[in-house]
Each structure stands twice: as C-alpha cells, then as structure tokens.
Amino acid sequence: MPPVVRFAPSPTGFLHIGGVHTALFNWLFAHHEDGEFRLRIENTDTSREVAETVEQIQESLLWLGLDWDREVTFQLDRMEHCRKEAERLVAEGTAYEDEGAIRMRMPDEGVTAWDDLIRGRIEYPNEKLEDVVVVRADGRPTYNFASPVEDRLDSITHVLRGEDHISNTPKQIRILEALGAPPPEYGHLANILGEDGKKLSKRHGAISVEEFRRDGYLPGALVNFLALLGWSYDDKTTIMSRDELIERFTLERVGASPATFDYAKLDWLNGVYLRALSPEEYADTLLAYLREQGFEWDEGLVRAAAVLVQDKIAKLGDFPDFAGFLFGDVEVDVALLDGSASVLAEAEQELESLEPYTAETIEAGLRGLADRLELKPRAAFVPIRVAVTGSKVSPGLFESLELLGREKSVERIRNAKAAAA
C-alpha cells in the first residue's frame, strides 16, 4: 500500500523555512515511495489565523515545486465530524464532559510507546498524560483531537513532523486507539536552528520563503540545501537535482540531531546553481527575477549584463547593487578618486578616440595608457572603475565600459575628473 503523508501548517503566519523543511521531507518521502503528499490547513483556532496566509503558504510551496495531491483540506471543515467522534467517545465512556468541554480519559499507569521512524523506540510515561480536552466548551475540537481524527479520515499512513510534536504523539495514539483506529507510523524530524544554536527566527536573517525568493535564491538550490539538513545520500554527494533527491531519499538516512541553518553554505550552493545555468537560462531567470521585484530595466541590457555577472554573484538579489550602474546614474565617492585626475584625463581622451568602441579596443587602449603612465594596470584601472561604476567592485571593466556606451562612459569619467581635481 503506497504511503499517504501530509504537511499540516497552521495559517498563523508566512511559511517558515523550518516548515518547508518538514514539507520537503514529506514530499520527498511520498514521491520516493510513489505515495501521496497532502496539504492540510490546521485552522481550528480562527482567532489566531492571519489573513492571506493560506494563499501565501500554497504559493510558497508551489514556488519551491512542492506540489500536493488532491485538494487542500481545512481542519475547520471537519469540525462536525470531530464533534461526532467526540460524542461517540463520551457515549462509549472513554471521554467525558468537564465544564462544557469534552475530555479524553488517559491511562495513568504504564507507558505509551511507538517505534519512531527516525528515532527508534520512544516511551512516554502514561502518568504524564493528562485527560486532554478534545472539544472546547465552545464546540471547536482542539488540535490534538482534530489532527489524529483527520489523519484517520485522510488515511494518513506516515506522520512526519517536527520534534516539538513528540509529546503530542502519545496523546494522539491514545485518541486513535479509543476511536478504534490503528495509528499511523510516526517520525519526528529534528529542528532547524539558527547560527547561535537557538531556534531559527527573524533575527537570524531570512526566514520565510518569501524572503528567500525576494533575495534571489533559486528554488532548486533551496530545496537541495534543505534536503541536506538532516539527511544525506552518502559521504560525498552534495549537488542533487530534484529527481535525484526523490530517487535517493529514504527515511533510513534521516538523522535525529538538530541542524544549524548555514546561510554561507546556502549562498555557495545557490551560486553553484546559478553558474550551472546556460547563459540563456541565466538571462531569462535574472530577467524574470528583476521583473518580479519591480525593476523595469531594459531587457537587452539586462541580457548583455547577465553574461558579465553570472559567475560573480551568488544570488540574483545582488544584481541591482552590482550592475545597477548600467541602468542609472552613479554616485562617486570622491575620496576614492584622490590623486587620479591625470589618469582620468588620459582615459577620457583614450576612450573618445577609440574606433571601434569595443571591449577589445578598450582593453588595448587602457592597457597602453597604464604603460605610458608607468602604472600597474591594477592601479590605473581603479579610478576609472570607480568613476564609471561608482564602486571598486564591479563586473569586468572593459566589458562594462562597452556596455555602458562611449557617451556615458566618457561623461562619467569627465565628471569624476572634475570632482577629483
């Protein structure tokens, strides 16, 4: 029987990268096993629901390519069913009313245990199990009741969730038992921590899928990175396509210890993905990203600039800062131009007389200039770079000058020369 798993976020905020990690492992497991991956929105507590997060969550998952089977289900829609089940338990005597709410009777001796898919046997002392409220006084079922009831309703076979749910599992097993339903298999994934060892949060940097998307990470890179947090294929494989991940993913190789989210490694991995794109794909991707972020820059120029930045930036979000000088005016820090008026004057003349005006002729001309002034190329090019790009760091100087065009290049150098004098 093919497994059925689910990802069950609550609509209380944007999709957190930790949630994505859980979703991904469920998704990979389902696909590897030819099973089903379902999406369930756990919205029993309407008071905490944040508007539009239901749409955001779905959009984020789809952007990452984590699509689900069948239609999305909402916990609220199953309220009636949960209520009836609770009443049945009351009638059968395994639950009782208490101040308007309904509580499940829990055993108070022995242990409730299960063989965790990734942790092995876990035993939980029953004396620690309170009689949990399954239906609130206002008639709404609680999470700990609705969740197992729905797992049963949806024929969920494997519950893969965060380790913060470990203490809920014995309660849910007991509830299912009272309901006369066999419990699914449970597997508890380790948490993702921030660089300080604490639970990943806002102060660690990007945390929601929207933020990673806005910063210019590729979904494939993010998925690859997340897959490696708590799972590995072998002792040396790092880069894996979505299909390879699906083919290789097994619960057996999922670890139980918490992992730290390493932004530096994500940046490196994203760069690997970016560089692996063909020039055309790269330009398309960059253009789409810029459009999405609201930049109305000339397509032809973006495409031409794309070639110059592909192996220089780690994420698409770096492009505006790195190559923005091609699309708008620059501000030059005069301090960086100190003592370079003569170089700039020579450069201005050189560029004006070049024919044709191409990266090749520009390079030859400027190198000749450096020779004449008896300057190292390195030293001679700094002021020119600063004058034209506004920064000491930029794409290749000669290509940049060509792309910018003779007119603007000369104008910027002339202005810088005036400022440096």
Partner RNA sequence: GCCCCCAUCGACUAGCGGUCCAGGUCACGGCCCUUUCAAGGCCGCAGCGCGGGUUCGAAUCCCGCUGGGGGCACCA
Can you tell me the distance from the alpha carbon of 28 to that of 252, in angstroms, rounded to the nearest whole number?
A: 13
Count of residues near RNA by CB under 7 A:
83
Q: How far is the CB of 297 from RNA (least distance, A)?
A: 20
34, 71, 109, 234: which one contacts RNA (CB under 7 A)? Answer: 234
Can you tell me the distance from the alpha carbon of 302 to that of 286, in angstroms, rounded to the nearest whole number?
A: 8
The β-bridge relationship of strands 158-162 and 185-189 is: parallel
Q: How far is the CB of 236 from RNA (least distance, A)?
A: 4
- Alpha-carbon dihedral 343, 345, 347, 351, rounded to 10 degrees: 180
Give the SS3 label for residue 158.
strand
Nearer to RNA, 167 or 241 (CB): 167
Nearer to RNA, 71 or 99 (CB): 99
Q: Among 130-138, 291-299, 325-333, 345-353, which window interacts with RNA (CB under 7 A)? A: 130-138
Nearer to RNA, 31 or 144 (CB): 144
Can you tell me the distance from the alpha carbon of 23 to that of 5, in angstroms, rounded to the nearest whole number?
A: 10
DSSP3 helix / strand / coil % (the chain, rounded to 5) = 55, 15, 35
Report which of 390, 399, 401, 406 is spatially closest to residue 329, judged by C-alpha positions.
390
User: If binding is defined by CB under 7 A, does position 264 make contact with RNA?
Assistant: yes
Find the binding residues for RNA in span 136-195 (CB under 7 A): 136-138, 140, 142-144, 163-168, 188, 190-191, 193
Find the binding residues for RNA in span 89-108 (CB under 7 A): 98-101
Q: Among 123-131, 215-223, 348-356, 402-410, which window interacts with RNA (CB under 7 A)? A: 123-131
Q: How far is the CB of 259 from RNA (least distance, A)?
A: 3
User: If binding is defined by CB under 7 A, does position 42 make contact with RNA?
Assistant: yes
Q: Among 148-156, 222-230, 293-301, 329-337, which window interacts with RNA (CB under 7 A)? A: 222-230
Q: How far is the CB of 15 from RNA (least distance, A)?
A: 13
Nearer to RNA, 133 or 290 (CB): 133
Nearer to RNA, 95 or 193 (CB): 193
Per-residue exposure over 170-200, b if at least 16 CB sit within 10 Å of its own CB, e if not: bbbbbbbebbeeebbbbbbbbbbbbeeeeeb
Q: Which neighbouring-strand residues pair with 16?
A: 208
> Under a CB-based contact definition with an 8 Å cutoff, are residues 358 and 351 in contact?
no
Find the binding residues for RNA in span 331-360 (CB under 7 A): none
Find the binding residues for RNA in span 53-92 (CB under 7 A): 75
Nearer to RNA, 283 or 309 (CB): 309
User: If binding is defined by CB under 7 A, does position 371 make contact with RNA?
Assistant: no
Q: Among 53-61, 210-218, 256-264, 289-297, which window interacts with RNA (CB under 7 A)? A: 256-264
Give the SS3 label for residue 349.
helix
Report which of 56, 72, 326, 67 is spatially closest to residue 214, judged by C-alpha positions.
56
398, 409, 417, 420: which one contacts RNA (CB under 7 A)? Answer: 398
Find the binding residues for RNA in span 270-329 (CB under 7 A): 271-272, 275, 311-314
The β-bridge relationship of strands 192-193 and 133-135 is: unpaired
Cis peptide before 356 (omega within 30 of 0): yes
236, 278, 300, 335: which one contacts RNA (CB under 7 A)? Answer: 236
Can you tell me the distance from the alpha carbon of 285 to that of 283, in angstroms, rounded to the nearest whole number?
A: 5
